[in-house]
Amino acid sequence: MARLKLAVLISGRGSNLQSLIDACADPEFPAEIVSVISNVPDVQGLERAAMADISAAVIDHRNFDGREAFEATLNAALDDSAADLVCLAGFMRLLTAEFVNRWRDRLINIHPSLLPDYKGLHVHERVIAAGEAFSGCTVHYVRPDMDSGPIIKQAKVPVEPGDTADTLAARVLAQEHIIYPEAVRQIAEA
Ligand code: GRF
C-alpha cells in the first residue's frame, strides 16, 4: 500500500499535528507525514515533529517581502517534500488565491466551528455570546475565501451552561483530534 504523503502546516501548539502523528504511527494508516512546516519559529508543534523524527522547517513569513515571496518559498518546500496533500493545522496565515488554486483539492484545513457558521477568529466566544446550543468542528477543502470549501467531515458538540471559551474550545478540540485523522483516511482511501 502506498501511503498518502502529508505535509502539515502549523503556527503554534500543534495538537492537531500530534493527532495526525499518532494516527500515522499505525502502519495500517493509509498516510504518512513527510514534512512539517511552521511559519513561526520555536513553537511546540516543531518539538512534536522532532520527537516523532519528522523533517520540519521554519519558513518565517516576517523574513519575506510580501505574501507572494513567502508562498514561493513555501511552494518550493512543499514540492521538495513530494507531498500529495497539504494539511493546515492551526496555520495562522491567510493564503493567496494563487496558492490555494495551485493546491486545489490537495489542501485541507480544520476549523473549530460547524462551517459555514462562525468563520474566522474567536469562534468560541462568538458561539457562546450568540447562545448557540451546539458547536463543533469541520475539516474542509480550502478555497480562496477564508474558511470556505467543500466539507469533508464535521463533529458536533453541545454548548453547556456555564461554558467559557476555554471549556468549549477543549470540548471541540477533543473532536478535532478525532475527525482530522478520519478525514485524511477518507481522502487516502477514496
Ligand atoms: C485548532 O482549534 C484549529 O481548529 C484551529 O486552530 C487551533 C490549532 O490548535 N484552526 P493546534 O495548534 O492544532 O493545537
**What average pLDDT does range 140-160 have in this prediction?**
97
Residue bearing the CA closest to ligand 1, atom 5: 90
Cα of 47 to ligand 1 centre, how many Å? 16
Residue 13 has which C-alpha cell?
501548539
Residue bearing the CA closest to ligand 1, atom 7: 90
Residues 6+ apart with CB under 8 A from 24: 3, 6, 31, 32, 33
Instruction: Specify which residues 58 forms β-bridges with.
Output: 38
- pLDDT tier for residue 170 given thresholds of 50, 70 and 90: very high
Instruction: Looking at the CA of residue 112, tell me the nearest atom of ligand 1.
Output: 4
Q: What is the reported pLDDT for 1?
A: 76
Annotated catalytic residue within 61, 111, 140, 177 = 111
**What average pLDDT does range 166-186 have in this prediction?**
98
Residue bearing the CA closest to ligand 1, atom 9: 90
> What would the pLDDT profile of 6-50 be if each residue is shown by its tens digit?
999 999 999 999 999 999 999 999 999 999 999 999 999 999 999
> What would the pLDDT profile of 38-87 be if each residue is shown by its tens digit?
999 999 999 999 999 999 999 999 999 999 999 999 999 999 999 999 99
**What average pLDDT does range 139-149 have in this prediction?**
96
Cα of 30 to ligand 1 centre, how many Å? 23
Task: Give the full edge-to-edge strand order of the sheet including 151-158.
Answer: 56-58, 31-38, 4-10, 85-88, 107-111, 134-141, 151-158
Closest CA to 18 of 37, 44, 42: 44
Q: What is the reported pLDDT for 178?
A: 98
Q: What is the residue-averaged pLDDT of the chain?
A: 97
Cα of 89 to ligand 1 centre, how many Å? 6
Q: What is the reported pLDDT for 74?
A: 98
Quote the Cα angle for 126-131-137, to 5°. Answer: 55
The residue type at 157? V
Residue bearing the CA closest to ligand 1, atom 14: 15
Instruction: Looking at the CA of residue 18, tell me the nearest atom of ligand 1.
Output: 13
Q: What is the pTM of this model?
A: 0.98
Q: What is the reported pLDDT for 28?
A: 97
Q: What is the reported pLDDT for 156?
A: 98
The residue type at 1? M
Instruction: Looking at the CA of residue 11, tell me the nearest atom of ligand 1.
Output: 12
**What average pLDDT does range 103-130 have in this prediction?**
98
d(CA 162, CA 160): 6
Q: What is the reported pLDDT for 25?
A: 98
